[in-house]
Amino acid sequence: MNADLPELVRVAHERAEEVGFDYSCDPDVGQLLAVLAARVPEGGRILEIGTGLGARVGWLVSGLGPRTDVTVTTIESDPERAGLAAQGWPEFVDPRVGDAAVELAHGSGVILATAR
């Protein structure tokens, strides 16, 4: 795995390789997500749908840098993947298991990234 990847992204890719998950975020897309995350206003919220094993979340967190004022909520419908991906995040990351439509109905945040 590329040593130039942010640590959380690298760890997510390693988890994906271990279990044969082939849908991790491409680094070019991840870099765009990091740039977008950096522009989230103070106290903002990011809703990421389809956590997979956490590569997109890693890019979003890396884009925030040292900021801790943004809440990143990530939703994964598959309980097994969600369990694997829920490890090692900063406190401002809120990993959830469930149906994204339910979360959207409750106004959880801004959609910045979605699963393909």
CB 60 within 8 A of CB 72: yes
User: pLDDT value at position 115?
Assistant: 42
CA-nearest of 52, 88, 49 to 72 is 49
pLDDT tens across 54-100, in order? 999 999 999 999 999 999 999 999 999 999 999 899 999 999 998 88
pLDDT tens across 10-64, in order? 999 999 999 999 999 999 999 999 999 999 999 999 999 999 999 999 999 999 9
Q: How far is the C-alpha of 79 from the C-alpha of 63, rounded, in Å?
A: 27
User: pLDDT value at position 108?
Assistant: 53
CB 54 within 8 A of CB 25: no
